[in-house]
Amino acid sequence: MLNRILSNDLPRSRLLAVLLAVILLGLAFAPFLFPGVKALSVAAKVLVFVVLVASFDLLLGYTGIVSFAHTMFFGIGAYGVAIALSSVEEASWGALLLGVLAALLVSMLLSLLIGLFSLRVRAIFFAMITLAVASAFLTLASQLSDITGGEDGLSFSVPELLTPGFELREEPLVTPLGEVLLNGRLLTYYLLFVSVCAIFLTLLRIVNSPFGRVLQAIRENDFRAEALGYRTVVYRTLSNVLSALFATLAGCLLAVWLRYNGPDTSLSFEIMLDILLIVVIGGMGTMYGALIGSVLFVLAQSYLQDLLRMAGESTAGIPLLPALLTPDRWLLWLGLLFVLSVYYFPTGIVGKLRERAVLARLKGMK
């Protein structure tokens, strides 16, 4: 049964299976296990990045296409929801659905045009084209203040069921894991959780289908795939479109959670760099790498400053260490952690764990 759900793409490593189970349970029960506004926001950000990174892995890890326009489609999804809900007097599910569908339509048309006109060129030129398009879109979103809110962005209301003020019951729910408020914030989180699970399983199904096998063949040797009769441009274009659509859905989820969207929130080039880092840390062409990489990166990004502050205070009497462990240097330590992860896990965490599992099985057969 589990094999069918995961589209015959099991972890193939006991340690990896345990890690994935712990992460899944942690995200499923995050509101109960980690009380507080910040903890829930971090868990929601992890869920959004899982979809965003997994959709990019479909393009980079499985098809071998380097694109810098992924955050553009992410931003289209967020702006689609923001514009639709900010343009109505009372937020409704119909307006939310209209914003999602409009964003998906725009992303589909734009990714199709980019794919048809750009994927015939070499990889580096395609990457430069997508970077130019993404930069132009960022500039456009910043200048069209009447529609997008400009640099200030758009704040909007969501359907009443998803508002923090909506309460299913006045008193907190007492569970063995702790107390939790049954409000709209909790419902929004589980809307994200269920949506992300469905999207992730869909992506697993795609990469393990005959279509996904062709994408991997193109990644390994596009000339051989072309010789076998596959129209590589068509498959690359379809991969580009699917990746863009899933990134758009991630943007929609982010906008619903934040109830705000602006250029720095969803279109920043820093987000594109984060996506690349997470793909490398987790492991390209694995899908599960998006889950593990997102958790590690977002946790480091959110709590590394707090850890450095505690470490700095505990080493106050030691020369030089407090200066090195100051929270202002968190980017330095994050970069160091990334270098170490690449050095010890050159194929990503998932790839390394699977390699160790294969070696262990081979030793057991001798």
What tens digit of pLDDT does each residue of 51-79 get? Answer: 999 999 999 999 988 889 999 999 999 99
pLDDT at 20 over 80: yes
Stretch 201-223: mean pLDDT, rounded? 92
Name the 3-class secondary structure at 260. Answer: strand
The pair phi, psi for residue 209, each rounded to 5°, is: -90, 170
Provide the pLDDT for residue 213: 94
pLDDT at 366 over 80: no
Stretch 8-33: mean pLDDT, rounded? 90
Radius of gyration of the chain (CA): 22
Share above pLDDT 90 across residues of the chain, in percent, rounded to a whole number: 49
Q: Shortest CA distance to 26 belongs to which of 294, 337, 341, 287?
A: 294
Q: Shortest CA distance to 140 belongs to which of 208, 50, 75, 55?
A: 75
User: Looking at 35-44, 116-125, 256-265, which range is the least confident one?
Assistant: 116-125
Residue 73 belongs to domain with CATH number: 1.10.3470
Chain-centroid distance, C-alpha 334: 19
pLDDT at 197 over 80: yes
| Structural domain span for residue 18 | 2-365
Provide the pLDDT for residue 339: 84
Please give the torsion angle defined by the CA atoms of residues 238, 239, 241 and 243, in that order, rounded to the nearest 10 degrees.
160
pLDDT at 84 over 70: yes
> Where does the pLDDT of residue 177 fall: very low under 50, low under 70, confident under 90, or very high at 90 and above?
low
> Where does the pLDDT of residue 347 fall: very low under 50, low under 70, confident under 90, or very high at 90 and above?
confident
Q: How far apart are CA 223 and CA 220, in angstroms?
A: 9
User: Looking at 25-29, 44-48, 209-213, 223-227, which range is the least confident one?
Assistant: 223-227
pLDDT at 315 over 80: no
Query: Per-residue pLDDT tens for 163-176?
Result: 888 887 777 777 76
Stretch 145-160: mean pLDDT, rounded? 90
pLDDT at 311 over 90: no
User: What is the number of structural domains in the chain?
Assistant: 1
pLDDT at 364 over 90: no
267, two tokens: 């279109």
149, two tokens: 């809110």
| Max avg pLDDT among 216-230, 284-298, 301-315 | 284-298
CA atoms within a 13 Å half-sphere pointing along the CA-CB vector of 323? 2
Share above pLDDT 70 across residues of the chain, in percent, rounded to a whole number: 96
Provide the pLDDT for residue 122: 63
Mean pLDDT value across the chain: 88
Query: Per-residue pLDDT tens for 229-264?
Result: 888 888 999 999 999 999 999 999 999 999 999 999
Query: Per-residue pLDDT tens for 328-342?
Result: 777 888 888 888 888
pLDDT at 100 over 70: yes
| Top-confidence residue, 365 or 95 | 95
Q: What angle do CA 71, 212, 12 make, to 5 degrees?
A: 95
Is-contact 260 254, C-beta < 8 A?
A: no
The pair phi, psi for residue 192, each rounded to 5°, is: -65, -45
pTM value? 0.93
